[in-house]
Copies of this chain bind each other. A is one copy, B any other.
Amino acid sequence: AHPLIDTAPAARLDHARGQSLPDWIALRSGRIPFFPDGVAHPASREEVRQLLDYAREHGVHLIPYGGGTSVTGHVNVVADYPTLTVSLARMDRLVQLDGESGLATFQAGVNGPALEARLAEHGFTLGHYPQSFEYSTLGGWAATRSSGQFSLGYGRIERLVAGMRVETPRGEMVLPPFPASAAGPDLKEVFLGSEGRLGIITEVTVRVTRRPETEYCGGCFFPAFGAGMAAVRELVRRRLLMLRLATAAETGLGLVLSGRPDLVRWLSRYLRLRGVGEERCLLVYAAAGTAKDVALARRETRRVSRRLGGVDLGAAAGGSWYRNRFFLPYLRNTLWEAGYAGDALETAVPWSRAAQLVDQLAKTLDRALNGVGERVHVFTHLSHVYPDGCSIYVTCIFRLAEDPGETLARWRALKRAASQAIVAHGGTISHQHGVGTDHREFLGAEKGPLGLEHLRETGRFFDPAGFMNPGKLF
């Protein structure tokens, strides 16, 4: 093999799957049909180029690998075919910092904490915090159109990426950073969300900002989900930051998980006195900037929520979410040990269809396993809001079957039912997780037959031999 390629079994197993529920089932049951045949760790653009050429010449499939946190199958080997996984882990350097413009160029394999640490040395932040932040990488964020918990303030990755370098099988694409341009279609947009099908992103130039002096995270309870939705719609239009709005079911779960039953009892009494009953929904909001900015934003946020019946509890209700914000994915482990599977589905729709789709998804998922006599517990929150709509994030919890194949079948039933409901209500098939293998059959519904064919043609253009991450996206 090529000197850059490691064929040790441990490396191959380590890079075999991501973090989706099917990946968990596979890894925990040991039923992993295919592994990569080797894993390479290039340290430079030149080495990435060598590996691309090697894979093409030897007729090997190539899978780019960032942090391995995909929850839709992006990094999986999907066919019994020689496959090379290329991890960008060693490519984590800050290449250039243009402080005057607020532009930082990193190698694409840098992960969240390393990126923020390097920027912090210079007083900057990117502000991109997907729940996978601890492991996921800048290149992975760009390749999957990632969004983060503070994207309402800093912008989704599409807005943060100013420029890129991509090694495609056909040659290198250099996309220089412009603040804006009218010079034809923006070619960055071809690679944002390309999920490794067109090449390997090797460098990304991102828009960074001065670290805020101070940050604040508060919580507010609304008497019903509708009132909460009206509030967040107004907050986003006033450029105030909301982080999440939970339905009554998810709010209730959060209170149980707090592990403080006495406190919750007192809280419930207090909220009832203030007119907020069993249908209470928790909004977590934020503010960042100078102390003055934050005070002003808090005041405005409270004013908006009070008008809609919200009871603001400030940092007492927001702080605990903030402290645990990267911890929630680990709950899946605890659930699993208790015999339950947990999975998340998500979409985004215009406001006019949001309430209906929240209801429809809850109903659809609730009865999705009726056929096999199993219950599904459904918890929903709005995780991102925009002036014209919001994302809907649904967590499903259901029992593991004795047979891993049966658990997988349950998951498939849920996935299909949810995706069909999403498409029927005009939602996107993914707001933040990407397409990968798991949403692939629904991409045509979103892009249309001509759009899908155009994407495939784009794939054939940059990768005529078709060896880049096959079976994903389109």
List residues of chain A with CB under 8 Å of any chain B CB: 98, 100-103, 144-147, 156, 158, 162, 168, 170-187, 189-195, 207, 209-210, 237, 239, 348-352, 384-391, 426-435, 439, 443, 446-451, 454-455, 457-458, 461-462, 473-474
Contact = CB atoms under 8 A, between A and B. Distances in A.
A102 B388 contact: yes
A426 B389 contact: no
Given A183-B428, A450-B170, A352 B194 contact: no
A189 to B, nearest CB: 4
A49 to B, nearest CB: 14
Contacts of A102: 237, 351, 387-388
B431 A147 contact: no
A431 B180 contact: yes
Contacts of A451: 173, 175, 187
A301 to B, nearest CB: 15
Contacts of A185: 189-194, 455, 458
A173 to B, nearest CB: 6
Q: Which 6 A-B pairs have the closest CB atoms?
A: A179-B389, A189-B189, A101-B350, A179-B386, A181-B428, A145-B182
Given A180-B386, A187-B455, 16 more contacts: A101-B389, A146-B182, A147-B182, A168-B450, A171-B450, A173-B450, A176-B426, A176-B446, A178-B389, A179-B388, A179-B389, A180-B431, A181-B446, A182-B435, A186-B193, A457-B457
Counting chain B CB atoms within 10 Å of each CB, the highest count among A144, A433, A457 belongs to A457
Copies in the complex: 2
A454 B386 CA distance: 32
Contacts of A178: 348-350, 389, 427-428, 431
Given A388-B162, A426-B176, A351 B182 contact: no
B103 A179 contact: no
Contacts of A172: 450
A189 B187 CA distance: 8
Contacts of A458: 185, 454, 458
Given A181-B430, A182-B144, A98 B162 contact: no
Contacts of A443: 183-184
A381 to B, nearest CB: 16
Contacts of A207: 387-388
A239 B427 CA distance: 31
Nearest to A72: B182
B189 A193 contact: no
